[in-house]
Amino acid sequence: MNDLLTEKPKSGTIALSLSEVIVLLLLPLPFFKLNILYVISALIIMLLSKYLRKEKWAQYGFKPVRRKELLIAIALGIIFGFVDNFIIEPLFTKLVGVKPDLSSYENVKGNVMGLLGMLALGWFIGGLFEEFFFRGYLFNRIQSIFQNPVLFKVIAISLTSIVFAFAHNYQGIGGITDTFLFAIIMGLLYFYFGRNVWYLIIVHGLYDTVGIFRLYLGL
C-alpha cells in the first residue's frame, strides 16, 4: 500500500492551519475538563473548516475500502486488542507499578446494557470520532504546515500521540503509557493503510471491543 502524500489542502495559510492544530490539540487535554464538549467543539471546528476550505472527505482519509485491506484491518484489530489487554498492559503495569484506572467503567461488568452502551461509545467515539480527529483531520492539517514528508510523519505521530495519551489521564499513569503506545501504532497504521481512515476505525473499534468484553467478563 502506497503512502499517499500528494494530497494537500486546496486553500488556507500555514498560519490558519497552525492555529487550528493548536486549538484542536488543546481541547482534549484533561485540565480543560471539557469531556463531551471537547467532541462537540472539535466537530464544529473541523466541519466548519472543511466547508470553508471546500475540501472533500477523501482528504481526511474516507476513501473506498478494498477487501484485502479490510480483512487485514479486522485481523489487526482483534490481535492488537488481545495482545494489548493480556500482554502489553500487564507488562506496563509491572514497569510503572500501577494498573490503568478503569473504575469509571465498573458498571460494565456483568451488565448487558452497560456492555451495549460501551460498545456504542467504543465504535462511535473511540473508533469513528477519534480516528477522524486524531489521524484523518489533524494529520491533514499538520501536513499543510510541514512539507517535508519525514518531518511531517514524525511530528504528526508524536504530537497527536502525546495529546491522545494525556486525554486518557483519568486512567492514571498506567493508562497514559498504554494509550500512548496505542496512538503511536495507530499513527503508523495510518500510513501503512495508505491514509485510509476506514481501516483505522475498524482496527480501533475491534481493539476497543476486546477491551470492553474483558471488562464485561471481569477478566
pLDDT tens per residue across span 183-215? 999 999 999 999 999 999 999 999 999 999 999
The pLDDT confidence band at residue 3, using thresholds 50, 70 and 90, is: very low
Q: Could you give the CA distance from residue 193 to residue 3 in angstroms, rounded to a whole number?
A: 8
The Cα 19–Cα 46 span in angstroms is: 12
Which residue range(s) make up the domain with 114? Answer: 14-217
Domain presence at residue 5: no
Instruction: Report yes or no on 132 lying in a domain.
Output: yes
Tell me if 71 is assigned to some domain.
Answer: yes
User: Contact 121/212 with Cβ under 8 angstroms?
Assistant: no
Percent over 90 (pLDDT), the chain: 64
Query: Nearest Cα to 202, choosing from 42, 60, 89, 71?
Result: 71
- Is 39 inside a domain boundary? yes
In a domain, 1, yes or no: no
- Please write the tens of the pLDDT for every residue from 45-75: 999 999 989 999 999 999 999 999 999 999 9
Structural domain contains residue 2: no
DSSP assigned state of 217: H
> Mean pLDDT throughout 149-154?
95
Question: Is pLDDT at 11 greater than 60 in this prediction?
Answer: no
pLDDT, one tens digit per residue, over 95-105 is 878 788 888 88
Q: What is the pTM of this model?
A: 0.89
Query: pLDDT exceeding 70 applies to what percent of the chain?
Result: 92
Specify the number of domains making up the chain.
1
Residue 148 is assigned to a structural domain of this protein? yes
Q: Contact, 29 vs 166, CB < 8 A? A: yes
> Which of residues 153 and 15 earns the better pLDDT score?
153
Per-residue pLDDT band for 163 (boundaries 50, 70, 90) equals: very high
On whether residue 3 sits in a domain, the answer given is no
